[in-house]
Structure 1
Amino acid sequence: MTEQIALITGASRGLGFALAAALAPRFHIVAVARTTGALEELDDIIQAKGGSATLAPMDITKADAMAQLCRSVWDRWGGLALWAHTAIHAAPLTPASHLDAKDWQKSVSTNLDAMGHLVPYVAPLLGETGQALFFEDDHAGEKFFGHYGTTKSAQIALARSWAAETVNTGPRVHILAPKPMHTATRGRFHPGEDKTRLARPADEAARLLASLDLG
């Protein structure tokens, strides 16, 4: 693999969008999200920077689709240098006694179940030298965060296990802690918040990437 390839799952908005834009043109970006229009907007930004992207309008919860994507990455480039996983489902806040079955299932499917096939599929592409990035947003145990807090904390628990297992073998697995950002996810949880006090996703992407050794 001569070209540096970065896979961004959840690239259509927020931190994922900002990370993809920040990594180009140093990396060729494989951008995964369900929203085609947002991916096309990202592609315009990447091309304006002199970079390139492969757009993959796909649902990460579909194991067969992710298997096909990862096989295509292997066949075309032979692996990945970086994987940043930002895809998330932010269900509405609600008391635990009023959890909505559809929102619960979508939260489990997107925030946790997808990890069960993404990590096994992506790990061989990263090999010993690649890096995987996950992003903490700890609301476990907070009132009204039953959907999101439970599934997001479980996602990070799995990422921490993978990180501990690969300390001596690679890939390097990072769990990063972004500052509160002006994103749609946070807006859903804090609709009346003063947005001027929040970090811009582009600024956080730059800060977090600067903390890493990307070779």
Structure 2
Amino acid sequence: MSEHDKIALVTGASRGLGAALAESLAGRGWHVLAVARTTGALEELDDRIRKAGGAATLAPMDVGQPQAMVQLAQAVLGRWGGLDLWAHCAIHAAPLSPAGHIDAKDFQKSVDLNVVATRGLIQLFEPLLRARKGGALFFDDPRAGQKFFGSYGATKAAQIALAKSWQAENESIGPRVAIAEPAPMPTALRARFFPGEDRARLTPCKAEAERILAALL
């Protein structure tokens, strides 16, 4: 690959919208750095990307592990000198529960991944994005205040609030920060929230990834 190729980092790339974005970006000629915990799913993603003529680098890592993310940022800097795009799809979706019965461990995991880890990733990736005049992409799912969504809704709202502050702070100096609100898609996450839903009526992840990228790029 050339040093002039576009470099996209997708966190949470193993399935759902993250995987669809990775495939769509690779199909547009970008080199995709795919990050997720599930090695097998990443390898399947890589197979699909290569079969379509694209290129990817797999990073089976947990975005909730700070030292691993420091190593990732250092590797990106050393190999590519920065990033053209960071798409943040990694999320912890705790089981639905009445607010008075939210499991403490599940809630802490939601806070750690959806909020604390996001703050750390912003700090690490901001200089990488500025180095190549790149941008970041977040995905809103406005469940805050809905019944039984206390854990997911609160921490997702906090993540987006953080992203909006970052967006406003860097409007003039970069990196560019975009926040999309995807249409309902037939993802594993949504199936956990809405079991028994008619998934045929939902927007395919690939179509939604193409729509979001067309608007962004």
Q: Which amino acid aligns with 2:163?
A: A
Q: Which amino acid aligns with 1:74?
A: L
State the partner residue of 2:90: 87
Which secondary structure does the structure 2 equivalent of 1:8 belong to?
strand
Q: Which amino acid aligns with 1:23?
A: L
Q: 1:58-137 maps to which residues of 2 (within 5 A)?
A: 58-127=61-130, 129-137=133-141
Q: CA deviation at 1:96?
A: 0.5
Which secondary structure does the structure 1 equivalent of 2:44 belong to?
helix
Q: Which amino acid aligns with 2:81?
A: G
Which secondary structure does the structure 1 equivalent of 2:93 belong to?
coil
Of 8, 11, 16, the match for 1:9: 11
CA distance in 1, matches of 2:171, 2:57: 30
Q: CA deviation at 1:122?
A: 0.5
CA distance in 2, matches of 1:112, 1:184: 21
Q: CA deviation at 1:105?
A: 1.2
Q: CA deviation at 1:192?
A: 1.5
Q: Which amino acid aligns with 1:93?
A: L
State the partner residue of 1:178: 182
State the partner residue of 1:54: 57
Q: Which runs of 5+ in 2 are unaligned?
A: none
State the partner residue of 1:199: 203
Deviations 1:109-161 (A, max 9, x none): 11111012100000100006201000010000111001100000000000000
Of 124, 137, 143, the match for 1:139: 143
Q: Which amino acid aligns with 1:186?
A: R
Which secondary structure does the structure 2 equivalent of 1:53 belong to?
strand
Q: Which amino acid aligns with 2:110?
A: S
State the partner residue of 1:37: 40
Q: What's the Cα RMSD here?
A: 0.9
State the partner residue of 1:24: 26
Q: Which amino acid aligns with 1:94?
A: S
TM-score scaled by length of structure 1: 0.97
State the partner residue of 1:187: 191
Q: CA deviation at 1:3?
A: 2.0
Q: Which amino acid aligns with 2:93?
A: A
Q: Which amino acid aligns with 2:197?
A: E
Which secondary structure does the structure 1 equivalent of 2:182 belong to?
coil
Q: Which amino acid aligns with 1:21?
A: E
